[in-house]
Structures are given as C-alpha cells and as structure tokens.
Amino acid sequence: MNFTFGFTNSSIDNWGHLGGLINGFFLIFTLSPPMEEGGCAGNYKIWFWVSLGIEILINVGGLALFYTVRIT
C-alpha cells in the first residue's frame, strides 16, 4: 500500500519502504525461536548468525546513506 502512495506522491521514499521490508524479513529469522523437533533446529544457529549479519549491514548501510546522501 505504501508503494502505491509512493508512486503517486513524490515526497514519499519508496526505497526506504523496500529497505524496511527486507530488514523485517531478516529480522524474523534473527528473533524467531528455533523450531520444534522434526524442524530445522539444527540450522538455527547458522540462520541466526547469517540473518544477524545481514541485519547489521542493512542498518549500518541505511544509516550511512541517510546521513550522507543529499537530495536536491
């Protein structure tokens, strides 16, 4: 819904909404508990660290872009 408003209103940043969507996707893997028996609990630690690393990269990169890019 926000993408629709972003295409019709030039003051809304669609890249910010897309970054939030991707960030939220990886946040699910970072904060969700491991699955019960029969699930993929063995790979939980791997997904946790991969997702946490991606979260850090997205957040640091987003903040760096936010404070360095000037929109004219």
User: What's the pLDDT score for residue 20?
Assistant: 80
Name which residue leads in pLDDT, 53 or 66: 53
DSSP sequence for 7-66: HH-TTS-HHHHHHHHHHHHHHHHHHSPPP-TTSSGGGHHHHHHHHHHHHHHHHHHHHHHH
Would the pTM count as exceeding 0.85?
A: no
User: What's the pLDDT score for residue 29?
Assistant: 72
Task: Give the pLDDT confidence of 10-63 residue by residue, as tens digits.
Answer: 777 777 778 788 888 878 777 776 666 655 556 667 777 888 888 888 888 878
Domains identified in the chain, total number: 1
Name which residue leads in pLDDT, 28 or 1: 28
For residue 14, the one-letter residue type is N
Range of the domain at 18: 2-68
Contact 55, 23 (CB under 8 A): yes
